[in-house]
Structure 1
């Protein structure tokens, strides 16, 4: 480090340094402030977009509750406009529900399969697989339905999955495998109240 004998030498040294480095310092400061302001603007924009999507989702759900499948076109428009949001997945689940109630099983299946491809939330994914299994079983696609159940890894679903697998196997005509599935479901903590009746019927 250089030593300066006088205050004037120090001032001259600072001036020289500033001539060489001043632009870089200013540019760095501008970039830093600009980046900070840009990040804040981005965060505000994301928050505003999420709030708007939430409000639109609430409106879509209310419309489904009021009009059922007749709200399909408007709800589909919301889904298409918000495909990068989990709200679109939740809306698709709601729409699929009323489509099933209206007997439009193919449309409901398409909604659920799209929802499954659009979410990476494991909890939501389990719900979708379960509903797909029920829907495919209703359409007579028993093996495909059982495959949907096999995709649910969450242990908290074990009892419901085993029981539905038993229902599907029973409809398929495999009573022995159905009984085994019901027995497995009975050993889980979330067994249904009707499960014992199903076991008793098969035991006769």
Structure 2
């Protein structure tokens, strides 16, 4: 740093420095403040969009509960309009459930297949793979159903996956495989109360 002989020289030096750098500082401040307010605006916009999607999702689910499969068109419109959000995936799962109950198996399968490609959330994917396995088993696509189950690696699903695998293997005629799967399921922390009955039936 230079040493100045007087306050006047310091003032002149500051003036000269400001002439050279002042515009850059002002521009940087404007850009910085613009970025700050722009970021806040972006965050506010995202929050508003999420709240709107949440409200629309709630309405869509309520309509499904009230009208069942008759609400399919409106719920599909919600899914299409919000396809980039997790709400659309959740709506697709709800719609698929109603379609299965209405015996519209192909439509339910299409919803689940779309949901599988529309999310990376592992918790949601576990639900989707499990339901895909059940739907494909209903279509007698047993090998495809078993393949879907192999995609679930979450430890909290071990019992449910093993039990469903046993159900599918039993429908395939593989009694030994079903017994092994049920035994595995029984040892898991999320074992169902019906497992012992299934094992007893196979032991007869």
TM-score, normalised via structure 2 length = 0.98
Equivalent residues in 2 for 1:108-119, closer than 5 Å: 108-119=108-119
User: 2:99 aligns to what?
Assistant: 99
Cα distance in 2 for residues equivalent to 1:179 and 1:202: 7
1:194 CA displacement: 1.3
Equivalenced residue count is 204
Indicate the SS of the match to 1:80.
helix
Moved over 6 A (4+): none
User: 1:130 aligns to what?
Assistant: 130
1:78 CA displacement: 0.5
Cα distance in 2 for residues equivalent to 1:172 and 1:2: 89
1:36 CA displacement: 0.4
1:146 CA displacement: 0.4
Cα distance in 2 for residues equivalent to 1:63 and 1:170: 37
Please give the per-residue CA displacement for 1:182-204, whole angstroms capped at 9, x wherever unaligned: 11111112211111111111111
User: 1:76 aligns to what?
Assistant: 76
How much is the aligned-residue C-alpha RMSD, in angstroms? 0.7
TM-score, normalised via structure 1 length = 0.98
Cα distance in 2 for residues equivalent to 1:5 and 1:190: 83
User: 1:28 aligns to what?
Assistant: 28
1:64 CA displacement: 0.3
Unaligned runs of 5+ in 1: none
Equivalent residues in 2 for 1:38-187, closer than 5 Å: 38-187=38-187
Indicate the SS of the match to 1:23.
helix
Unaligned runs of 5+ in 2: none
1:4 CA displacement: 1.4
